[in-house]
Amino acid sequence: MTTAGPLIVQSDKSLLLEIDHPASADCRRAIAPFAELERAPEHVHTYRLTPLGLWNARAAGHDAEQVIDTLIRYSRYPVPHALLIDVADTMSRYGRLQLSNHPVHGLVLQALDEAVLEEVLRSRKITPLLGARIDATTVIVHPSERGHLKQALVKLGWPAEDVAGYVDGERHAIGLDLAQWQPRPYQTQAAEGFWHGGSGVVVLPCGAGKTIVGALAMALAQATTLILVTNTVSARQWRDELLRRTTLTADEIGEYSGARKEIRPITIATYQVMTTKRQGIYPHLEVFDTRDWGLIIYDEVHLLPAPIFRFTADIQSRRRLGLTATLVREDGRETDVFSLIGPKRYDAPWKDIEGQGYIAPADCVEVRVTLPDPDRMAYAMAEPEDRYRLASCAAEKIRLVELIAQRHADDRVLVIGQYLDQLEELGEHLSAPVVTGQTSVRERERLFASFRDGQTRVLVVSKVANFSVDLPEAGVAIQVSGTFGSRQEEAQRLGRILRPKADGRAAHFYSIVTRDTVDADFAQHRQRFLAEQGYAYRIVDADDIRTGAWEGDRGL
C-alpha cells in the first residue's frame, strides 16, 4: 500500500480519484475495467463499484485478487475491509451457476454451489423457465428460455456463465484479402477474445476499426452472418468494407432495409426496418429465422432497440457479437446487453489506441455563452420541458460557430446539433449543406462523398451522423445541441473526427454550452464517459473566441 496514492476508496463503494496526482493516469487505466465513472469535475473524479461492472470484469478474465490488489495499490488510505470482502463476494457470484449441455437431458442449469440453486429455484420468475430437476445441483432448462433465464438470474444477482455452446449454422466460406492490408494487433485480439468466449461485446473507440473486428469474427466463424446496423448509410459502408477486406463478392452480401429486402449468406439489416411494427407485430423480425445463421453481429450494440432484445432472447444458440464504443445506455439496460448479447470480451481504452497512433489525438473545448437579459427572462419563465431547447438554440451560438469554422478554414468541419430549425439556420449562415433524417439516403451518400473528397469543407449534420458514418478526414466537430445528457452520443460525436489524419494533425471538438441553464447541466453529464477515457475539456468564454484569446499555445 502506498500512503500517497491518488485514490480514496470509501465504504459506500465510491472511489475518489485525484486528477492532479502524478499517478492518476495509471490509476484510471487500472480501475477502468471494473469501476464506473459517475462525476468528473476538474480535480476529483468519482467512480463507483457496481455488481455489473465487477461481473463484466470477471467475465473478461479479471479476478477478485487483481481488483483488490489494484484498490490497495493506489489507495491513499487503508481500504475498508468490508468493501474488499464485498468485492470478492460479488465477483464470485459470476459462474457459480452455469448453463451447459447435458449428454442426456440437453440444456441444463448446473450449480457449483447447491445452496445457490435452492435459492434461485424459490423465485417465481425462475421456475416457469425450468424443467425437471435431475439431481441436487442440476435442473433441465427449456431451450427456448435460455436468454430469458439469463436475464432473470442477473436480476436476482446470480449471473450464469453460459458454456452450453452454439450451433455452427450454415457454413459459408469467408476469407480475408490480406494482400493490401493487415489487421492491427488489438483488432485480432478483440476478435479472438470474442471467439474464445463464444458470444459477447467488443468495446473499441470510434475510428478504431470495429467493422474490421466484425470481418475477422466472420472469418473465424466461416458461416452465414446476419449484421444489424443503425441505418442504410451504415449498411452500405459495412458492405463496402467487407468487399474491400474479405473475399466476399457483391452477390454474397444482401441489404435488408427500407429500400431493399435481400436475404443472402451475408445479410446486413437496419434496426429501423427490423423494428417496423404493423398491426401490433414486427413482421421483419422473421429475418432472424430466414437462414440458419452461424453468427449475428450487432453494430452499435448500445443502441439495441427493445424488440431486438426480445428476439435475441430466443436465439441464444447463435453466436452473437456486439460492437460499440461505449457500453453506456441511458435507458439502464446494460444488464440486458450483458445477459443477452454476452459479457464484455475486449475493451481498449481510447488513450491507449491514441498512443499507438491508430486514432487522432483530440483537443476538447467547452465554449460557454451567456443568454442576453431578455432571453434569460424568457428562459426563467418557460415550462421545464421547453428550457433545454431555448438554451440549446441561443442565437449567440450561430456567430460562435461561424468564428470557429473560420479559424479552421484549412480543415474539414462538422457542425452537429439536434434541432432542425437551428441546423437549417446554421446551414444558411455557413453556406453549407445540411444532412438530417429527412435527407434521402442517396443525397446523404452524395454529400458525405463530397465531404470526404474535399469538395465540401463544412457539413451541418443532425444526430443521423452520430453513428457509423465514415468521414476520415473530418478534423473539427462543433456541437451546438444534443440529446439531453447522453454520454454515448458525446462519445460518438467525438468519434466522428478521431480517424487518424494523413498529416498527423490533431482533432478539435467544440461543445458550445449556455451557462446557468440545463444546457450546462446536461453538458457536464454528457462529458462523463469521455472524462473516464482521459479526455479533459478546456473551458473558454465566448468572449475569448471573439477576441482570439482562446488560441493560446494550441496552434489553432
In this structure, the answer to whether residues 101 and 208 fall within a common structural domain is no
Q: Which of 353, 385, 409 is the last residue of a domain?
A: 353
* DSSP code at position 188: H
Residue 330: pLDDT band (50, 70, 90) is: low
In this structure, the answer to whether residues 343 and 209 fall within a common structural domain is yes
Range of the domain at 48: 7-93
Residue found by looking up cell 484498490 in the block: 71
| Confidence at residue 155, expressed as pLDDT on a 0 to 100 scale | 92
| Confidence at residue 219, expressed as pLDDT on a 0 to 100 scale | 97
| Confidence at residue 449, expressed as pLDDT on a 0 to 100 scale | 87
Q: Which are the contacts of 507, defined by CB distance < 8 A and separation ≥ 6? A: 360, 361, 362, 363, 474, 475, 476, 477, 494, 497, 498, 501
In this structure, the answer to whether residues 504 and 477 fall within a common structural domain is yes
Distance of CA 433 to the CA centre of its chain: 28
| Confidence at residue 362, expressed as pLDDT on a 0 to 100 scale | 85
Residue 552: pLDDT band (50, 70, 90) is: very low
| Confidence at residue 194, expressed as pLDDT on a 0 to 100 scale | 93
* 171 part of a folded domain: no
List phi, psi (to 5°) of 519.
-60, -45
| Distant-in-sequence contacts of 91-96, Cβ < 8 A, 24+ apart | 91/54, 91/55, 91/57, 91/58, 91/63, 91/64, 91/67, 92/64, 93/51, 93/55, 93/157, 93/158, 93/159, 94/54, 94/55, 94/58, 94/59, 94/159, 94/161, 95/58, 95/159, 95/160, 95/161, 96/158
Average pLDDT, the chain: 88
Q: Which of 93, 108, 140 is the last residue of a domain?
A: 93
| Confidence at residue 551, expressed as pLDDT on a 0 to 100 scale | 59
* 249 part of a folded domain: yes
Q: Which are the contacts of 293, defined by CB distance < 8 A and separation ≥ 6? A: 169, 170, 223, 224, 225, 226, 318
Over residues 329-354, the mean pLDDT reads: 83
In this structure, the answer to whether residues 436 and 509 fall within a common structural domain is yes
Residue of 541 and 8 predicted with greater confidence: 8
In this structure, the answer to whether residues 392 and 444 fall within a common structural domain is yes
Q: Which are the contacts of 542, defined by CB distance < 8 A and separation ≥ 6? A: 367, 368, 369, 370, 396, 400
pLDDT at 110 over 60: yes
Residue of 551 and 552 predicted with greater confidence: 551
pLDDT at 151 over 50: yes
pLDDT at 469 over 70: no
DSSP string, 405-445: HHHTTTSEEEEE-S-HHHHHHHHHHHT--EE-TTS-HHHHH
Over residues 257-270, the mean pLDDT reads: 93
Q: Is 225 helix (H, G, I), strand (E, B) or coil?
A: strand
CATH assignment of the domain containing 524: 3.40.50.300
In this structure, the answer to whether residues 337 and 226 fall within a common structural domain is yes
Q: Which of 93, 110, 143 is the last residue of a domain?
A: 93
* 172 part of a folded domain: no
Report the domain count for the chain: 4
The CB density around residue 555, as the number of other CB atoms within 10 Å, is: 8
* DSSP code at position 159: P
* 50 part of a folded domain: yes
Cα–Cα distance list, 301 to 124, 286, 326 (Å): 30, 20, 9
Cα–Cα distance list, 184 to 193, 208, 209, 355 (Å): 14, 9, 9, 14
In this structure, the answer to whether residues 147 and 274 fall within a common structural domain is no
In this structure, the answer to whether residues 494 and 545 fall within a common structural domain is yes
Question: 208-220, pLDDT tens digit by residue?
Answer: 889 999 999 999 9
In this structure, the answer to whether residues 523 and 382 fall within a common structural domain is yes
Question: 357-411, pLDDT tens digit by residue?
Answer: 888 888 888 899 999 988 989 989 989 888 889 988 899 999 999 999 999 988 9
Distance CA 448, CA 440 (A): 12
Q: Which are the contacts of 547, defined by CB distance < 8 A and separation ≥ 6? A: none
Distance CA 97, CA 130 (A): 14
In this structure, the answer to whether residues 40 and 151 fall within a common structural domain is no
Residue 21: pLDDT band (50, 70, 90) is: very high
pLDDT at 159 over 90: yes
Question: 166-193, pLDDT tens digit by residue?
Answer: 999 999 999 999 988 999 999 999 999 9
Distance CA 90, CA 214 (A): 32
Residue 525: pLDDT band (50, 70, 90) is: confident
Over residues 251-266, the mean pLDDT reads: 94
Distance CA 435, CA 425 (A): 13
Looking at this protein, which amino acid is placed at residue 367?
V
Q: If 0-12 CB within 10 Å is exposed, 13-18 middle and 19+ buried, where does residue 435 land?
A: buried
Residue of 551 and 198 predicted with greater confidence: 198
Q: What is the pTM of this model?
A: 0.82
* 510 part of a folded domain: yes
Distance CA 210, CA 225 (A): 16
Residue 553: pLDDT band (50, 70, 90) is: very low
pLDDT at 64 over 90: yes
Q: Is 139 helix (H, G, I), strand (E, B) or coil?
A: strand
pLDDT at 343 over 60: yes
pLDDT at 554 over 70: no
Distance CA 213, CA 176 (A): 12
Pseudo-torsion of CA 274, 280, 283, 289, nearest 10°? Answer: 90
| Confidence at residue 2, expressed as pLDDT on a 0 to 100 scale | 45
* 180 part of a folded domain: no
Over residues 119-135, the mean pLDDT reads: 93
Distance CA 449, CA 447 (A): 5
Q: Is 373 helix (H, G, I), strand (E, B) or coil?
A: helix
What percent of the chain is predicted at pLDDT more than 90?
A: 51
In this structure, the answer to whether residues 69 and 127 fall within a common structural domain is no
Run of H or E residues at 107: strand 106-111
| Confidence at residue 1, expressed as pLDDT on a 0 to 100 scale | 41
In this structure, the answer to whether residues 112 and 231 fall within a common structural domain is no
* 177 part of a folded domain: no
